[in-house]
Amino acid sequence: MVKPKERWRHLALLISILFLFILGPALSAFRHGALTLNVIAAIALIAGSYAVSERKLFFLIAVALSGISILLTWLLVIVQRPWVAILSHGCLIALVAFFSIIILGYVLRNGRVTTDRIFASVCVYLLIGYAWTFAYVLVEELQPDSFLALSHAAPNDYVSRVLQMRYFSFITLTTVGYGDIVPHSSWARTLAVLEAITGQIYLTVLVARLVGLHIVHAESDAARED
């Protein structure tokens, strides 16, 4: 039996991710936009920690990684140095990947297909896009000009660079590919191919799994009624 407080456990994470996605371009233009985005990002990390709080160990790991990520992100705003950016983006990749794996395990496990599980599946898809976002930013930081774009972010404008790579990440994940940003280096091309494959496999496996679980429980309910 699902506890009432756990029925919408992943809804908060989904809402915070969507807020971060939608408000990013608008807030980046303001003077303190980067700080505001960091606050929203911190809320998203807290929501992510709550989403994986079903097991105490996972919750503690999530809180620790979230705390480190928040500190490094704020440090990057104050001290705009390449080494801080590398540490910050690397930690975010690890954290988002951790959230994705734990939540995906919840989505694919046996049990009834609930509304919370559907929310969780959407969260995983969005988290995959965000994980690759920071992977692209990290590649660009380590190997400049790994991507060719119609417009370029300033070297120290990390917010604009993240927004640009986030756009490229989700365009690649959905295999739309407008062509206004092109991976140039071998590492960038490899990551783009892997993300496109991951996005397609995830949707295929997810739909098959959720449909299978729904059929199993529908047949079980019908058997009980008979």
CA 120 – CA 108 distance, rounded (Å):
10
Tens of pLDDT, residues 45-54: 888 888 887 7
Q: Pull the structure tokens for residue 110.
A: 């046996």
Domain that holds residue 25: 4-225
Tens of pLDDT, residues 62-109: 888 888 888 888 887 787 788 888 888 888 899 899 999 999 888 888
What is the number of domains present in the chain?
1
Q: Around Cβ 6, how many Cβ atoms within 10 Å?
A: 12
Percent of the chain with pLDDT over 90: 21
The CATH number that applies at residue 187 is 1.10.287.70
| Per-residue CA distances from 74 to 85, 86, 105, 182 (Å) | 11, 13, 31, 30
